[in-house]
Structure 1
Amino acid sequence: MSPAIQDVTYLRLNIPSRQPVHHLIVSNSPSMFDTRGFPNLASLDLSSCAVHVSDLPLLINRFGKQLRHLILDDTNVCNGSIVGEWEALGKAIALADVAPTRQREKLLKSWIDARSPSITAHDHGSSAVPDNQITRSKRGRKGLATPTISLRQSSDDTSNSVIIRSQPISFEGIQHLTGKIRLVPMASHIQSICINQLSSGMEESARSEFAKGWLDGLRQLHATWARLQQSQSNGTRLFRFGSSQSLTEIGPLGQDKFWDHMTLSSSFNSPPLLCFSGAIKKRTEMNEHHSLPIHPNGCGHQDSADVWPPKFYD
């Protein structure tokens, strides 16, 4: 992985009818559990690519809370042909971290269970295998000969990490975890989604349906947090993944402090901004009579206006 991408904050991949999402989140790219590939990516432009609604939660989770803007002009996302698609999109964005958190939780529990015997034995200074189960080898040849050297490169020590899609997550400092643990899903930090231009009169309806789905997702997320907090009061330890992809424990705090720790704010209940104005265009002398679309303040188009040159209006 080139060190140059560590400082990339704006990324544009405009490949008509191609599917770059798969390559961004799997294969040889860092997995959704590791943002080392683009640790500072704030704006992602996939205009004209083959992108689907189901891809958006994966992208949001893949790049973490630093991703603020998604630009999806001229894609397959929500063209107004399916009833309820805007509401479904809003809910999916709000709950983008729920399914990956469940997967991480299962992997973490398996990792801890696998380490428990060796940890116990290490703490007591004895072998993990009882003496009465140790068998003595017999003299003579025993099958195929085993080479004493290997030309293969030795694997890295993963005693303090787990491999997820070829990327390690550090579990340093939690080797002696005992009892029940849970991982807490986080809220989406997306600020705006720039999407296909709609017919006149459909924009407000789309925004309304999107907001309805977003709030429905937040209610579900709030209910999950409430159940987790109740479990915490009964002795369960809660953790979340930080920006460095390391685990951070959420201490036994009061309800208000618990919500504050979940990065709730006065603007939390506001859905991400939807922009239907298309890419910012530059007026030419031949087309001065055309009125250019107005972009809502804070959309991804405006945010990247100084990065990408405006397209000519034709």
Structure 2
Amino acid sequence: MSLIEHLPPEIYSAILSHVSFPLLQTTTLAFSCALPRSPIPQYHVFQYVRLTHPEQIIQLYQRLRKDRNLITNIDAFSLETWTADADVVVNLMNLLSSGRIKELRMFVGPNFAPEHLEDIFEKPWHGLQFLSLRFRPYVQRATYYQFLKGAYFDSTLLALSRWSKGSCPLPSLSIIQDALDATIAPTGRFAQPLVFFRLDPFRTLSYSPLTSELEHFRLRIPSRQVARFIYSVANSFPALEFLDLSTCNVVESDVEAILGRFGKLKHLVLDGCSVVSQRSDLAEEERQNLWALLGKSMALAGVKLAKEREKKLKVWLEANVLRASMNALQVADAGPAAPPVPVQRRPRRGRRGLATATISLRESLPPDAEPLPGLPSRHTGPPVALSTQKIRILPPQPLLRTFATTAPGYHKTVKDKDTQHSSIRGQFERGWAEGVAQLSAIRGRLLRSWQGGMRVVAFRHHHLSTLYDEDNESGDGSSEEIGLQGLVDVHTAEEFVVEEALCPVLCLAGSGKKGAAEGHVEGCGHVVGWNVWEDEL
């Protein structure tokens, strides 16, 4: 017997604690086979359960039914097979949901129906910190069951949105639909099933309690314009730091809106998105200039957001001034205003035909079809200004650290590719620097106006000197930005200074390590994503 076989169980556990979760199960089993007489703790086999074959699902289910104490040992579960029996998976998940699972990964293949995922996520998984759903519903033979039944997974998003606040503060969420591959399923003979029919549920998910503390979000729906559904609501994803929308239909205006809306965003990955024009007929100088324009627009995303918010604020202030004036006139009257007496029309003579309507749509309309906006019932922002005083909004400074997207593929050799990427990064940095300089000038002018007595406010989620708390929430993510909600007064001159806004690390190598590892820039967003998701998708 060697000395390693006489070690106490605590030493083996300490050794296995250095193994990454995806390899823990196989490493423990290999360790046990190599040292069959050693007291290696077997609960490590169940810390990270990874199932890659359909028959393993029923085996695990039967084992957990016999010994339910093993459920509490499972910290992470990964289902990595596309041919699983969905009913058995649902039964297994019902057992696992009673445990302490922190990480959950699922492959959702053609055997799954929306009802299966609804059953799995009907109730919150308490303690869950990582959720990854990967969809591949494609089939080899044509079937119209999904189309006739309307079998789309929109309901899964709505089920997650219904989880109550505090039941599951989820830091990491990944929802991926695999791109259609001709080697997996035919692409020309019939239409393949859709995963999501409508994109509205993503808007509902964006302001749900589940995503109130979401820091990492990966959403890949090939060729769908899903970006606008996640940034259109005022308080969507308030804690988001990492966003991956690769393969989605994302344009430059979406990038501006994303950077403007998500005040804490540090990493943005847009692989496979045509953010910059891919036209091959453009001259090289024009192509390079497009990247400079992109860098400048990204640096000035906060300026565009501030201008749009100022327009809404101006309309709201004018409406409240008018409302206050009308209220003052009513108070000055000697007595209460009598309700207006409706004028009765004289009935027309003659016989009323059978086709004559007995109701009037005009009379059923409310007197104020579009009422003036009023003060919110729970106003927590700066004091409301009921005057014509102009209020300016301080445009936030960019906090983005990395940006990854796909470069046009018109290079011919690896050397040309490296030269092209280097030139693109140089143009992007030039445009970013111009944008930051323009932002500094705008904030400088606002500083002088503020010193002259003009009121200046800043976005709460972008304001570095203001901590976010629950008392400042509007309480309804579906509501529009009303008045001064989400805005705070600027109090010091230092708040106008643009801190060191370094240009984000731009990586053009594309997703995945294989065959492109040499093209990734050090510290790029892809590396951050690999560490978060523990895969190379």
Aligned to 2:505: 273
Aligned to 1:74: 272
Aligned to 1:174: 383
Aligned to 1:116: 321
3-state SS of 1:7 partner? coil
Aligned to 1:45: 244
Q: 1:186 corresponds to which letter in structure 2? A: P
TM-score normalised according to structure 2 size: 0.45
Could you give the per-residue CA deviations for residues 55-93 of structure 1, whole angstroms, max 9, x where no partner exists?
A: 210111122x21111111122123665341110011000
Greater RCO, 1 or 2 (C-alpha within 8 Å, sep 6+): 1
Q: Confirm whether residue 220 of structure 1 aligns to residue 431 of structure 2.
A: no
Q: 2:316 corresponds to which letter in structure 1? A: W
Q: Confirm whether residue 308 of structure 1 aligns to residue 516 of structure 2.
A: no
Distance 1:206 1:16 in 2: 25
Distance 1:186 1:226 in 2: 13
Aligned to 2:220: 14
Distance 2:276 2:382 in 1: 44
For residues 235-274 of structure 1, what are the structure 2 equivalents within 5 Å?
235-243=453-461, 246-251=486-491, 253=492, 258=493, 260-262=494-496, 264-265=498-499, 267-268=500-501, 270-274=502-506
3-state SS of 1:231 partner? helix
Distance 2:342 2:297 in 1: 64
Aligned to 1:154: none
Could you give the per-residue CA deviations for residues 181-214 of structure 1, whole angstroms, max 9, x where no partner exists?
A: 2111111111110111562211221111111111
Structure 1 segments, 4+ long, off by >6 Å, are 132-135, 138-141, 143-147
For residues 27-106 of structure 1, what are the structure 2 equivalents within 5 Å?
30=233, 34-35=234-235, 37-63=236-262, 65-78=263-276, 81=280, 82-106=287-311
Q: 1:302 corresponds to which letter in structure 2? A: V
Contact 1:60 1:96 in 2 (8 A): yes
Contact 1:7 1:38 in 2 (8 A): yes
Structure 1's 272 and 146: CA in aligned 2 closer, same or farther, altered over 3 A? same
Structure 1's 294 and 234: CA in aligned 2 closer, same or farther, altered over 3 A? same
Could you give the per-residue CA deviations for residues 252-306 of structure 1, whole angstroms, max 9, x where no partner exists?
A: x4xxxx2x314633x32x211101232243x6xxxxxx67335334322122222
- Structure 1 stretch 83-92 or stretch 222-231: which is displaced more? 222-231
Which of 176, 179, 184 is the matching residue for 2:394? Answer: 184
Cα RMSD after superposing both structures:
3.5
Aligned to 1:287: none
Structure 1's 141 and 68: CA in aligned 2 closer, same or farther, altered over 3 A? same
For residues 194-205 of structure 1, what are the structure 2 equivalents within 5 Å?
194-197=404-407, 199-205=417-423
Distance 1:89 1:138 in 2: 58
Alpha-carbon shift at residue 219 of structure 1 (Å): 1.7
3-state SS of 1:215 partner? helix
Greater helix content: 2
3-state SS of 2:384 partner? coil
Q: 1:159 corresponds to which letter in structure 2? A: G
3-state SS of 1:219 partner? helix
3-state SS of 2:531 partner? coil
Structure 1's 138 and 194: CA in aligned 2 closer, same or farther, altered over 3 A? closer
3-state SS of 1:13 partner? strand
TM-score normalised according to structure 1 size: 0.74
3-state SS of 2:392 partner? strand
Distance 2:335 2:524 in 1: 66
Contact 2:382 2:487 in 1 (8 A): no
Q: 2:439 corresponds to which letter in structure 1? A: L
- Number of aligned positions between the proteins: 273
Q: 2:374 corresponds to which letter in structure 1? A: S
Distance 1:311 1:261 in 2: 40
Aligned to 1:4: 210
Structure whose CA Rg is larger: 2
Distance 1:127 1:139 in 2: 21
Distance 1:303 1:83 in 2: 27
Aligned to 1:131: 333
Alpha-carbon shift at residue 95 of structure 1 (Å): 0.6
Distance 1:140 1:116 in 2: 29
Distance 2:522 2:390 in 1: 46
Contact 2:320 2:386 in 1 (8 A): no
Distance 1:205 1:133 in 2: 76
Contact 2:302 2:396 in 1 (8 A): yes
Contact 1:10 1:44 in 2 (8 A): yes
Instruction: Mark the runs of 5 or more structure 1 residues left unpaired by the alignment.
Output: 151-156, 162-167, 284-289
3-state SS of 1:271 partner? coil
Aligned to 2:425: 207
Alpha-carbon shift at residue 121 of structure 1 (Å): 7.7
